[in-house]
């Protein structure tokens, strides 16, 4: 596809996700799958590259408007980064069918969340809390949720913000705008770690990713400045319905592939379990080498997080 069209698509998606407050991966992965014809592994890897542009754009916007809780975000990244690295590793060794199934499942949950938010009108007033005032039990739940968010962002290319933001609001108890802003800071660090692992496997399309990412960066800046003028509730309903259709399409593609090869679904499930078993054995054989990489990447990103936190004190 022509680079100009790719750039325009990036601007449009970046604009839309900035208005709705959804991670760009929910739209970038389907676009790369169905418009550009990428396989699921390349779509996920390239989407993570583009996500670095969108999260950076969102962070630059929010850091001027909202007081980001850097100390809390940095602490939760201790769990998010290993989750993202492990998820990135899994997505590059698992079969196409498993990744598509995980992607469609997470996309369906994101769609249902958007639709639920349209019908929900409950408002709760919250105040920003220093780290010392947060209960230890809430922090433990937050760390577990952060790990899961990292794993999802690394494995299926979707933003972990759909898990991080609810945890920051409902479990930690900080205000919505602070939660969203802190989540964008966290996602930059997670995305860098995920991108490092995906780059090792060479499945990132840098040509499409850089052009679309540049467009998305600009679109997100424009969307962030115009979101207050639009009816966000109706946009969430429309986008939620659209994502639900996309996830249904992916599910149908998975099950229709069973018929194309004259294989029943029980055989497919059996093959998936065998694939998981074989890949798990492969991971076990290489666990020391792999976890050494996890530790190295975590240390590098932790240094970056520490530098960022100190510079904003």
**What is the spatial distance between Cα 7 and Cα 216, in angstroms, rounded to a whole number?**
8
Question: At residue 258, does pLDDT exceed 60?
Answer: no
Please report, for the chain, the start and end positions of each structural domain, with discontinuous segments joined by +. Answer: 3-311
**What is the spatial distance between Cα 250 and Cα 272, in angstroms, rounded to a whole number?**
17
Question: At residue 145, does pLDDT exceed 60?
Answer: yes
pLDDT given at position 213: 94
pLDDT, mean of residues 184-207: 87
| Residue-wise pLDDT tens digits, 112-126 | 876 777 777 555 555
Higher pLDDT, 121 or 218: 218
Measuring CA to CA, which residue among 62, 88, 85 is closest to residue 73?
A: 62
Measuring CA to CA, which residue among 276, 253, 251 is closest to residue 105?
A: 251
């Amino acid at each position: 596809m022509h680079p100009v069209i790719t750039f325009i698509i990036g601007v449009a998606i970046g604009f839309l996700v900035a208005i709705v407050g959804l991670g760009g991966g929910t739209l970038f992965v389907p676009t790369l799958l169905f418009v550009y014809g990428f396989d699921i592994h390349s779509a996920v890897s390239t989407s993570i590259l583009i996500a670095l542009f969108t999260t950076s754009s969102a962070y630059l916007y929010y850091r001027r408007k909202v007081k980001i809780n850097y100390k809390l975000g940095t602490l939760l990244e201790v769990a998010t980064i290993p989750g993202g690295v492990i998820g990135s590793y899994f997505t590059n060794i698992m079969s196409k069918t498993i990744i598509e199934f995980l992607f469609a499942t997470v996309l369906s949950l994101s769609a249902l969340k958007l639709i639920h938010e349209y019908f929900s009108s409950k408002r709760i007033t919250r105040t920003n809390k220093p780290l010392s005032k947060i209960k230890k039990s809430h922090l433990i739940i937050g760390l577990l949720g952060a790990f899961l968010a990292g794993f999802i962002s690394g494995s299926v290319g979707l933003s972990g913000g759909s898990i991080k933001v609810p945890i920051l609001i409902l479990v930690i108890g900080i205000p919505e705008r602070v939660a969203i802003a802190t989540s964008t800071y966290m996602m930059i660090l997670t995305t860098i770690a995920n991108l490092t692992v995906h780059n090792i496997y060479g499945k990132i399309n840098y040509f499409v990713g850089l052009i679309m990412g540049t467009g998305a960066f600009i679109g997100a800046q424009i969307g962030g400045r115009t979101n207050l003028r639009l009816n966000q509730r109706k946009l969430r309903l429309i986008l939620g319905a659209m994502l639900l259709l996309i996830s249904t399409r992916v599910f149908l593609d998975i099950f229709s592939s069973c018929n194309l090869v004259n294989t029943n679904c029980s055989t497919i499930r059996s093959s998936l379990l065998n694939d998981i078993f074989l890949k798990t054995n492969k991971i076990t054989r290489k666990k020391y080498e792999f976890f050494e990489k996890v530790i190295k990447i975590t240390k590098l990103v932790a240094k970056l997080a520490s530098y960022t936190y100190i510079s904003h004190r």
